[in-house]
């Protein structure tokens, strides 16, 4: 994957496949600590200990269509090569939390990329999900949920016009978090 926002989309898709109703995406960027932290928390079906142990094995998958699952193993490799790491906590029936950290200034740390597009992809295809997004950059915070957006947009949230508007809005907010106008 070219950018972390695509990995994030991949992890969120995992949550959706696990029948999550509530998904949280937290991103923390801290230049003082030289840290980039991404957390995806869901209330899906969760994993038992046996599956959790094997989750980073490329030949472990719950899919019936194929024999490999490369999303998490490759992301783990990527994080570890950037002085970071990945951890997964999960409890059967309660949900799963995936945390990934990178050393932000590490030369191989991939760009965060287009988070707004990732979020809009989720909203467009799963407007029924309760999704919260929190992004903190050096103490500045932006926070929004699909619930909030639904209150504003009602049933129009599934229209291309509004979805594109949401993307512009998110891009604008993320830009200002990073100090841009």
Partner 1 sequence: MDKIKSIEELRKLREQAQAFLKTRQGEAKVKVYISMGTVGIAAGARDVLLAILDELQKRNFTDVQIIERGSMGLDVEEPVVAVERDGIRVYYGHVTPEMAREIVASHVINGQIVSDWVIAKE
Contact set with partner 1 (CB under 8 A) = 1, 6, 9-10, 13, 16-17, 63, 65-66, 69-71, 117-118, 120-121, 124-126, 149, 152-156, 158-169, 171-172
The two tokens of residue 23 are 């998904």
Task: For residue 9, give every residue at least 6 positions away whose Cβ sits within 8 Å of its Cβ, in sequence order, or none.
Answer: 118, 121, 122
Residue 171 beta carbon to partner 1: minimum distance, rounded to whole angstroms: 8
Specify the residue, 104 or 166, whose C-beta has the smaller distance to partner 1.
166
**Tokens 């991103």 — which residue?**
27
Residue 146 beta carbon to partner 1: minimum distance, rounded to whole angstroms: 13
The two tokens of residue 39 are 């957390």
Residue 80 beta carbon to partner 1: minimum distance, rounded to whole angstroms: 19
Task: For residue 29, give every residue at least 6 positions away whose Cβ sits within 8 Å of its Cβ, in sequence order, or none.
Answer: 35, 36, 37, 104, 112, 135, 136, 137, 138
Specify the residue, 104 or 116, whose C-beta has the smaller distance to partner 1.
116
Residue 138 beta carbon to partner 1: minimum distance, rounded to whole angstroms: 22
């Amino acid at each position: 994957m070219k950018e972390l926002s695509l990995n994030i989309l991949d992890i969120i898709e995992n949550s959706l496949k696990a029948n999550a109703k509530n998904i949280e995406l937290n991103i923390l960027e801290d230049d003082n600590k030289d840290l980039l932290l991404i957390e995806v928390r869901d209330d899906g079906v969760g994993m038992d200990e046996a599956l959790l142990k094997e989750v980073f094995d490329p030949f472990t998958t719950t899919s019936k269509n194929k024999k490999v699952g490369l999303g998490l193993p490759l992301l783990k490799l990527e994080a570890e090569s950037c002085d970071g790491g990945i951890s997964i906590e999960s409890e059967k029936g309660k949900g799963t939390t995936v945390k990934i950290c990178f050393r932000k200034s590490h030369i191989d740390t991939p760009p965060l990329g287009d988070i707004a597009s990732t979020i809009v992809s989720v909203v467009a295809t799963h407007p029924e999900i309760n999704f919260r997004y929190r992004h903190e950059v050096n103490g500045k915070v932006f926070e929004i949920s699909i619930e909030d957006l639904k209150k504003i947009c009602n049933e129009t949230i599934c229209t291309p016009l509004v979805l594109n508007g949401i993307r512009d809005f998110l891009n604008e907010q993320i830009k200002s978090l990073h100090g841009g106008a």
